[in-house]
Structure 1
Amino acid sequence: MQQIFSFIYKNSIFLLFLLLLGISLTFTIQSHSYHRSRTISSANAVSGFVYQQIDNVETYLSLKEENQKLADENTQLKKLLFNTTDSVKVTQLPLASGTFNVIPAKAINNSYSLKENYFTINKGRNDGVNRDMGVVSSLGVVGIVEQTSKNYATVISVLNTNFRLDAKMKKNNHFGTLIWNGKSTGFAQLIDVPRLASVHKGDTIVTGAESRIFPENIPIGTIETIYTDQTNNYFTIDVRLFNDMTSLGHVYIIENKDQEEIIQLEQQTVNE
Structure 2
Amino acid sequence: MQQLIYFIQRYKYLLFFCLLQIIALALTINSHSFHRSKFISSANVITGGIYEKTNAFSNYLNLGEQNKALAKENTYLKNLLSQIQSISDSVKLTAIIDSLNNQQYKYIDGVIVKNEFHKAYNYLTVNRGAKQEVTPEMAVINDKGIIGVTDAVSNSYARVRSILSRNSQINARLQHSPYYGTLSWDAKNNQIIQLRDIPRQAVVQIGDTIITSGRSAIFPEGILVGTVIDIEKRAKENLIEVKLFNDMSSIRDVYIINNFHKQEIKDLEKQTNE
- TM-score, structure 1 normalization: 0.90
Q: Give the distance between the partners of 1:141 and 1:119, measured in 2 at CA.
A: 13
Residues 84 and 99, structure 2, Cα contact 8 Å, conserved in 1: no
Say if 2:210 and 2:226, in contact at 8 Å, map to a contact too: yes
Residue 41 of structure 1 corresponds to: 41
| Structure 1 contact 82–215 (Cα < 8 Å) conserved | no
Partner residue of 1:65? Answer: 65
Q: 1:197 aligns with which of 189, 202, 208?
A: 202
Identical aligned pairs, as a percentage? 40
- Please, which of 261, 264, 274 is the counterpart of residue 261 of structure 1? 264
Name the CA shift for 1:203/1:80 in 2 (closer, same or farther; >3 Å): farther
Match of 2:245 in 1: 242
Q: Alpha-carbon deviation of 1:14?
A: 2.6
Partner of 1:127: 132
CA apart distance, 1:16: 2.4
- In structure 1, runs of 5+ residues without a counterpart are none
Task: Quickly say closer, same or farther: Cα 1:245–1:65, change in 2 above 3 A.
Answer: same
Aligned partners of 1:111 and 1:117 also within 8 Å: yes
1:10, CA displacement in angstroms?
4.2
CA offset digits 1:31-71 (Å, max 9, x no partner): 33322222111111111112112211221122111111111
Structure 2 unpaired stretches of 5+: 90-96
- Write the distance in 1 (CA, Å) between the matches of 2:143 and 2:257: 13
- How far, CA to CA, are the matches of 2:239 and 2:98 in structure 1? 39
Which residue matches 2:93? none
Conserved 8 A contact 1:185-1:245: yes
TM-score (norm 2): 0.89
Q: CA deviation at 1:94?
A: 5.6
The 2-side partners of 1:179 and 1:267 are apart by 24
Partners of 2:65 and 2:98 in 1: CA distance = 27
CA contact (8 A) 2:200 2:234 kept: no
**Is 1:75–1:102's contact at 8 Å kept on the other side of the alignment?**
yes
CA RMSD of aligned residues (A): 2.3
Specify whether residues 5 and 217 from structure 1 end up closer, same or farther in structure 2 by C-alpha distance, changes over 3 A only: closer
Residue 188 of structure 2 is aligned to residue 183 of structure 1: yes
Paired residues in the alignment total 266
Task: Classify the secondary structure of the residue corresponding to 1:67.
Answer: helix
